[in-house]
């Protein structure tokens, strides 16, 4: 893992679930020497004001991210495909959550 | 106050003062902790303790029934009237000292307040029930640090060992009881302190094994906080904590 000799530990990304049934959202990052301490630090740093009911911590080095150079091939092709948006049919009355 | 109320009042001071003084000590780390994450963690713990002390000192003031408030008790009592356990007033030292002190008191709190949830005094029961979840987390936090410091590098192991040896003689004072306490125990208001001590010893032994730290021999134990006999450190702490209220009486935000 990168950053291993750093005295503050390695970098972790923190994901918090705000309420049951909704996805965990990225809340921020922190440094910790291992998973248990990362979990505790996440609890202390990111849930002090009742923000969450569940926490995930992931070593930042384990996240594979797309790079800005990929943007052309990854994302631009969808710009001219409006038919992929669900806007071409009527939402039946009474459907609340779409 | 009748005899039982006096005993309850003294208990509230003992627990409330311990929480206030330890909370103040931990708050001294605010802005100085080794890493940002731990700075926030320690501040959270400090605030939990100050919150707990407010509940206990408010109840103490009610029992006293002299029109005083939690603030009067916190800011206008001198060293000899404070009843906090000796270990809570010990200086922060290095991070190992702070964590070992915290661990010793967290183990005590964990067992004591768990038992206090069965108190026949409805107010103390309520205060304990609110506190146990916070204490559960405090103990988890300090225990995990003990493992990592004790079973960490040669330097962290040595510092933890030194901290244990430095603080050990203040641990006995946490379990001292007097006739007030016995009266409360007869009335099913507080737990049997011998039982708490047994549980404490067992837990400390178990955690120290994993942390590769030897439990010191029983040895000489300092005592005296029940009578207001404190180590020299409490006076300096109170001087700082009470300074504003003493210099500018009745000042408010």
3-class SS of residue A76 = helix
What value does the mean pLDDT take over residues B132-143? Answer: 97
> Ramachandran region of residue B178, left (φ > 0), alpha (ψ -120 to 50) or beta?
beta
Cα separation values, B99 from B111, B146, B213, Å: 18, 7, 14
Q: Decide if A44 and B44 are in contact by the 8 Å CB cutoff.
A: yes
Q: Is the pLDDT of residue A2 over 70?
A: no
Across the interface, which of A31, A32, A44 has its CB nearest the CB of B40? A44
In a domain, A77, yes or no: no
Closest to B34 measured CA to CA, from A47, A55, A33, A68: A33
Please give the helix or strand (H or E) that residue A84 lies within, else none: none
* pLDDT band for position A80 (cuts 50, 70, 90): confident
Distance from CA of A48 to the nearest CA of B (A): 8
Distance from CA of A8 to the nearest CA of B (A): 7
What value does the mean pLDDT take over residues A4-19? Answer: 85
C-alpha A15/C-alpha A30 separation (Å) is 11
Domain carrying residue A61: 10-65
Please give the helix or strand (H or E) that residue A10 lies within, else none: strand A10-17
Supply the pLDDT for residue A83.
81
In a domain, A61, yes or no: yes
Q: Decide if B37 and A48 are in contact by the 8 Å CB cutoff.
A: no
In a domain, A71, yes or no: no
Q: Is A33 within 8 Å of chain B by CB?
A: yes
Chain B residues inside the 8 Å CB shell of A33: 148
Q: Decide if B40 and A40 are in contact by the 8 Å CB cutoff.
A: no
In a domain, A72, yes or no: no
Residue A13, φ and ψ in degrees, nearest 5: -100, 140
Domain carrying residue B243: 3-247
Across the interface, which of A8, A31, A41 has its CB nearest the CB of B41? A41
Select the residue from B35, B51, B134, B146 to test the A interface by mutation, using most A Cβ atoms within 10 A.
Answer: B35
Residues of chain B whose beta carbon is less than 8 angstroms from a beta carbon of chain A are 35-38, 40-41, 44, 137, 140-141, 144, 148
Supply the pLDDT for residue A84.
82
C-alpha B88/C-alpha A45 separation (Å) is 25
Contacts of B219 (CB under 8 A, 6+ apart): B168, B169
State what percent of residues in chain B have pLDDT above 70: 100
In a domain, B252, yes or no: no
Q: Is the pLDDT of residue A87 over 80?
A: no
Across the interface, which of A8, A34, A40 has its CB nearest the CB of B35? A8
C-alpha B192/C-alpha B196 separation (Å) is 7
In a domain, A40, yes or no: yes
ipTM tops 0.85: no
C-alpha A41/C-alpha A43 separation (Å) is 5
| Structure tokens that stand for B32 in this block | 């100085």
Longest CA pairwise span in chain B (Å): 55
Chain B residues inside the 8 Å CB shell of A37: 144, 148
Supply the pLDDT for residue A7.
75
pLDDT in tens, A25-50: 999 999 999 999 999 999 999 999 98
Q: How many distinct structural domains can be found in chain A?
A: 1
* CA count, 13 A, side-chain hemisphere, A21: 0
In a domain, A42, yes or no: yes
Q: How many distinct structural domains can be found in chain B?
A: 1
Residue A29, φ and ψ in degrees, nearest 5: -135, 170
- The CATH number covering residue A56 comes to 3.10.20.520
In a domain, A17, yes or no: yes
- The CATH number covering residue B86 comes to 1.20.1260.10
């Amino acid at each position: 893992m990168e950053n291993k000799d750093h005295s503050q530990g390695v970098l972790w990304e923190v994901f918090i679930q705000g309420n049951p049934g909704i996805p965990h959202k990225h809340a921020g990052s922190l440094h910790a020497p291992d998973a248990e301490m990362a979990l505790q630090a996440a609890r202390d740093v990111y849930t002090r004001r009742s923000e969450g009911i569940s926490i995930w911590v992931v070593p930042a080095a384990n996240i594979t991210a797309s790079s800005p150079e990929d943007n052309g091939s990854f994302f631009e092709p969808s710009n001219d495909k409006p038919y992929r948006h669900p806007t071409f049919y009527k939402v039946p009355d009474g459907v609340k959550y779409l | 106050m009748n005899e039982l109320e006096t005993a309850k009042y003294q208990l509230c001071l003992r627990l409330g003062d311990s929480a206030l003084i330890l909370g103040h000590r931990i708050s001294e780390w605010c802005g100085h902790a080794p890493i940002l994450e731990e700075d926030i963690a320690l501040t959270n713990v400090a605030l939990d303790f100050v919150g707990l002390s407010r509940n206990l000192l408010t109840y103490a003031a009610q029992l006293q029934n002299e029109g005083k408030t939690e603030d009067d008790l916190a800011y206008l009592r001198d060293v000899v009237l404070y009843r906090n356990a000796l270990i809570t007033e010990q200086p922060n030292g290095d991070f190992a000292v702070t964590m070992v002190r915290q661990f010793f008191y967290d183990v005590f709190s964990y067992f004591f307040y768990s038992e206090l949830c069965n108190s026949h005094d409805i107010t103390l029961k309520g205060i304990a029930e609110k506190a146990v979840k916070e204490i559960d987390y405090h103990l988890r936090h300090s225990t995990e640090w003990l493992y990592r410091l004790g079973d960490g590098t040669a330097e962290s192991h040595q510092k933890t060992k030194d901290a244990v040896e430095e603080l050990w003689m203040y641990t006995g004072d946490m379990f001292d009881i007097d006739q007030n306490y016995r009266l409360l125990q007869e009335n099913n208001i507080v737990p049997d302190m011998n039982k708490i001590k047994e549980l404490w010893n067992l837990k400390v032994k178990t955690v120290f094994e994993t942390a590769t730290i030897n439990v010191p021999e029983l040895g000489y134990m300092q005592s005296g906080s029940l009578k207001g006999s404190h180590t020299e450190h409490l006076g300096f702490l109170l001087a700082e904590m009470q300074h504003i209220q003493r210099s500018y009486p009745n000042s408010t935000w």
